[in-house]
Amino acid sequence: MSASLTPTFKPFPSLRIGADGFSAQGAFAEAQAMYLEPDPEPAARIAHLMERHRVGVVAHFYMDAELQGVLSACGHPHVHVADSLMMADRAVEMARDGARSIVVLGVDFMSENVRATLDASGFGDVHVYRVASDPIGCSLAEAAEAPAYAAYLAQAARTPRSLHVIYVNTSLRVKASASAVVPTITCTSSNVVPLVLQAFAQVPDLHIWFGPDTYMGRNLQHMLGTLSQLDAEALARLHPAHTPRTLRAAAERFHLFQQGVCIVHHMFGDRVVEQVRQDYADAFVAAHLEVPGEMFALGFEAQQVGRGVVGSTSNILQFITDKVRERAGSDEHPRFVLGTESGMVTAIARGVQQVLREHGGGADAEIIFPVASEAISATDDALLRVVPGVAGGEGCTTAGGCATCPFMKMNSLDALLDLLDRLGEGPQALTEFAPKVYEERIDGHTVAEMGGRSIAAMREFGRSGRLPADLVDAVVANDDRGGQGDGP
């Protein structure tokens, strides 16, 4: 390409984090930074109401920046920001410590999972609330509700030795319905790689049907093929039962749903990656496992040489704080390209500051948002005229989008304060804020019972490193029933 035809790019917005402060470049980053030093008044009010009503709050990393900032400043022990699975685990810990209500700041499947996990742990008397009376959707979870996903599962059921690996970011009803059709185990972005490797190692001739996240499925399939090119010794360190031959066979028997996309991770396309490669070659790359192939490939390449990570929100947070810790006290100023929802920056900023303070400060770290610098919304507030994210999700493109989830942003600071104020009215007055209750029964069981089976299987895998015996038996038994060789 001639010099005259080479595209010119504006720098991505970025946030520089020091031990005692922040500096921002670009309107998007400036809007994020505004919320990292929150007003103490709402923080104190939240802490007071939580103490008064014995409330725990669990929130997702992608939460509204203003709300995360205030929560991080309220100082209450029963506030935790995490990924979707850890939210439910922390809710149980809060219930054990005496919380009588749990407020879930996330999309609806997260509150459903918290409700089901509390019930399964013996805390059915602990109330669970959302902060919106309207549904808080999720484009990815809704993809699994479509007839196309039911057809995908039917194909799996017709294929011998099939295991459905379903992403945790789906409703209980989907998990329950899937479990009734084909043996199913839930996964997270943190555990999906070891889970898939173990499943292929543990069950001969296994077919895995992954869904509904199309990008994550493509990335996993690509990863299996790439890993199969490693030598036997390197693969043995990854998983002792695998060889290049077994991973090549696994990649051929790994199926993915083609119509499930998270609208946030869809933003990170080829033009974003092109600019990262061109202008940020010295930066570390932190990419979520759900991002499109271009950003995944960039992150995976960087991960292979110790310059990046591809994984969950928790993996990204750990990677960044570890790299900052390694360089604390030196003259290095590490930069990180954040290939996931921008709401993560609040937890990252707090974690980086803690590391820098532990090591005497002096250094700093820079978070680069690979989005268009104009990815902000105007407001009617005279003091705060812009906020991160474009209005209603409009303007988000693969050329550099908003990197912010409009569904998560339905959880606002005002909505949380209003709900906490109303908790004294009792649960009967707040039924519209409770997680959805599914009345139907599937195979004679409640949706919560059936949906919880795949989550329980995942937890058993987490404890033992192996698929549960009853799940393996169900997969093998498919040879003798529905699976009659009608698969692909």
- Concatenated DSSP letters for 91-113? HHHHHHTT-SEEEEES-HHHHHH
- pLDDT on residue 196: 96
**For 115, what's the count of Cα atoms within 13 Å in the CB-facing half-sphere?**
21
Q: Which of 333-342, 390-399, 422-431 has the lowest mean pLDDT?
A: 390-399
**Is the fold of 9-34+264-405 the same as that of 40-135+411-433?**
yes
- Other C-beta atoms closer than 10 Å to the C-beta of 381 total 9
pLDDT digit string, tens, across residues 295-352: 777 888 898 899 999 888 888 999 999 999 998 878 888 999 988 767 778 888 889 9
Which strands sit side by side in the sheet containing 335-339, from one edge to the other? 22-25, 14-18, 364-368, 335-339, 284-288, 308-311
Q: Specify the higher pLDDT residue, 259 or 356.
A: 356
Lowest mean pLDDT among 112-121, 361-370, 479-488: 479-488
- Sheet of 162-167: strands edge to edge? 184-187, 162-167, 207-211, 254-256
Global pTM value: 0.72
The encoded tokens of residue 186 equal 């839930």
Q: Find how far residue 329's CA is from the centre of its chain.
A: 32
pLDDT for res 205: 94
CATH no. for 40-135+411-433: 3.40.50.10800
Would strands 55-60 and 101-105 be described as parallel, antiparallel, or unpaired?
Answer: parallel
**What are the structural domain ranges in the chain?**
9-34+264-405, 40-135+411-433, 140-260+438-480
Averaged pLDDT for residues 102-131: 91
- List pLDDT tens digits, range 203-235: 999 999 998 888 788 888 888 888 888 888 888
Please write the tens of the pLDDT for every residue from 284-304.
999 877 666 677 778 888 988
**Cα-Cα-Cα-Cα dihedral of 113, 117, 119, 125, to 10°?**
-80
pLDDT of 186 above 90? yes
125-146 b/e (C-beta count within 10 Å ≥ 16 → b) = ebbbbbbbeeebebbbbbbbee
CATH placement of domain 9-34+264-405 = 3.40.50.10800
Residue of higher predicted confidence among 294 and 353: 353
pLDDT at 31: 76
Cα 171 to Cα 141: distance, rounded to the nearest angstrom: 6
- Round the average pLDDT of the chain to a whole number and report it: 82
Residue 166 has a pLDDT of: 94
Question: What contacts 102, CB < 8 A, 6 or more positions away?
Answer: 55, 56, 57, 58, 91, 94, 95, 114, 118, 126, 127, 128, 129
Neighbours of 326 (CB within 10 A): 12
